[in-house]
Amino acid sequence: MTRRMLTHAGRRVLAAFAVASATIWLAAPQATAQSGGASESATGDDAALAQQGMWIWYVSRSNGGSTVSIIQRARRSRVRTVYIKAGDGSSSWAQFTSSLVAKLHGGGLKVCAWQFVYGDHPVAEAKVGAAAVAKGADCLVIDAEGHYEGKYAAADRYIRSLRARIGASFPLSLAAFPYVDYHPSFPYSVFLGPGGATFNQPQMYWKAIGTTVSAVFAHTYLFNRVYERPILPLGQTYLNPGTRQLKSFRRLAHSYGAGAGVSWWSWQETNGREWGALGARVGAVAGLLPAKTHPVLARSRDRVGISRGDLVVWAQQHLIAAGQVNLRATGVYGSGTFGAVQAFQASNGLPADGVIGTRTWQALLAHKPKRIRWAARRPSSGASASRVARARAPLSATLPARGYEIDPGPRP
């Protein structure tokens, strides 16, 4: 998770862009997104993610490390789930133990493990996550940020290795950058794609970003909803955002359909007034009906939408699944993709303009996306080796971030 602040100028630019983005890409209303999910039974608990939660970085700095005190504080503030750091990279953290999990369970709390991942040693990182699950975690959260930009093969290897160890349906969530359009090379389509995380917990730190609570919701939901995973907002208590803003965040979470499934970063930075705001009873914002829209994708020359990045990869995966089998998932909206979109639109009774707007997204999302094996092994030589090499990442994996709404700095 991120704790460093952006510059004042940077915050103003990002805030303006957030408001503009929430307006520019509006289109027709969408149908309610449905979550994916595997059929295999698991020992985890989806309910852990559907309740108000608090993130713990260091147990020792959270109520002095006293499990009794942690349980009491959580109960008073209607916190039902604690997210405890269990690993960093390929190293497990000693603080996450089966004994700690058992004590917190005994106090009526759900326990989710979270790990920060870098993508340099994905199989080792998967083993760290699986080890936390083996210690009794109710769910596991992947904290993947700037270190993972462009690393499609690593993300694929990590997810496949992790799922092989924890089962296909164990509750798994991604906590990443909230503004998908800022990070065209981040492999959201792998982490949130087939076989990946079943929940999406974007880091919606409005004050750190330099925007408003309402703007961070509008921007985040616009670009995340196409991945069709339940969105559970992750808010901030650090930087002293104020109790009114915390209550507003909770109300908007209800209005956007997340219910009580919000969580907060972090325990050790939450003061008494903030704990009180988390414990207050709140409901949805009266009369608010959020516009359920999708981002617009198009060729760059059309100048009407996003033309490169993971959102394009995701659309291409759906087009391939819908029968455009000669299309490659490149992350670039070129002539081939334009033609494939036109053909898809024509076959679905849509205007064949080659632009992916909300109506086309709705039709595409009715198809289960083609899973790309980015981590396929390279043959030793020959033409087949070249084809596999090209498949290890889309062309868009080399794109730089458009901005960092959440500082991707180094971790402890």
Query: Per-residue pLDDT tens for 148-181?
Result: 999 999 999 999 999 999 999 999 999 999 999 9
pLDDT tens for 359-394 read 999 999 999 999 999 997 655 555 444 443 445 899
Q: How far apart are alpha carbons 259 and 232 in whole angstroms? A: 9
Q: What H or E segment, with its residue span, contains residue 14? A: helix 8-24
Measured in degrees and rounded to the nearest 5, phi and psi for residue 115 equal: -135, 140
* DSSP structure string for 202-257: -B--HHHHTS-HHHHHHHHHHHHGGG-S-B--EEE-TT---HHHHHHHHHHHHHTT
Give the amino acid at 176: A
> What confidence tier does 300 reach under pLDDT thresholds 50, 70, 90?
confident
Q: What H or E segment, with its residue span, contains residue 385? A: helix 383-390
Q: How far apart are alpha carbons 54 and 288 in whole angstroms? A: 26
For the chain, what are the domain ranges?
A: 8-279, 300-398
pLDDT value for 362 = 98
DSSP state of 92: E
pLDDT tens for 330-357 read 999 999 999 999 999 999 999 999 999 9
Give start and end residues of each alpha helix (H) in 112-227: 122-134, 152-166, 188-191, 206-209, 213-224
> Three-class SS of residue 124?
helix
Is residue 9's pLDDT more than 70? no
What percent of the chain has a predicted confidence (pLDDT) above 90? 81
For the chain, the distance separating the N- and C-terminal CA atoms, rounded to the nearest angstrom, is 10
11-20, 141-150, 227-236: the lowest-pLDDT one: 11-20
In terms of Cα–Cα distance, which of 268, 269, 261 is closest to 112? 261
Answer for the pair 291, 29: CB distance below 8 angstroms, yes or no: yes
pLDDT value for 409 = 66
pLDDT value for 5 = 37
Cα 366 from chain centre: 21
In terms of Cα–Cα distance, which of 334, 329, 360 is closest to 347? 360
Is residue 38's pLDDT more than 60? no
pTM of the model: 0.88
pLDDT value for 41 = 37
* DSSP structure string for 23-38: HHT--S--PPP-----
Stretch 230-240: mean pLDDT: 97
Stretch 228-242: mean pLDDT: 97
Q: How far apart are alpha carbons 192 and 227 in whole angstroms? A: 6
Q: Between β-strands 81-88 and 91-92, what pairing exists: parallel, antiparallel or unpaired? A: antiparallel
Is residue 34's pLDDT more than 60? no
63-77, 210-224, 277-291, 385-399: the lowest-pLDDT one: 385-399
DSSP state of 379: P
Give start and end residues of each alpha helix (H) in 66-151: 67-76, 98-106, 122-134
Half-sphere exposure of 191 (CA within 13 A, CB side): 34
pLDDT value for 74 = 98
CATH 1.10.101.10 for the 300-398 domain, yes or no? yes
Place of tokens 């993300």: 155
DSSP E strand stretches across 9-59: 53-56
Answer for the pair 306, 296: CB distance below 8 angstroms, yes or no: yes
> Three-class SS of residue 99?
helix
Query: For residue 130, what are the CA distances in angstroms to 199, 233, 401?
Result: 17, 24, 30
Is residue 85's pLDDT more than 60? yes
Answer for the pair 238, 229: CB distance below 8 angstroms, yes or no: no
CB atoms within 10 A of CB 257: 16
CATH 3.20.20.80 for the 8-279 domain, yes or no? yes
Compute the C-alpha angle 263/264/269, nearest 5°: 160
> Three-class SS of residue 87?
strand
Compute the C-alpha angle 286/288/289, nearest 5°: 140
> Mean pLDDT for the chain?
88
Answer for the pair 397, 189: CB distance below 8 angstroms, yes or no: no
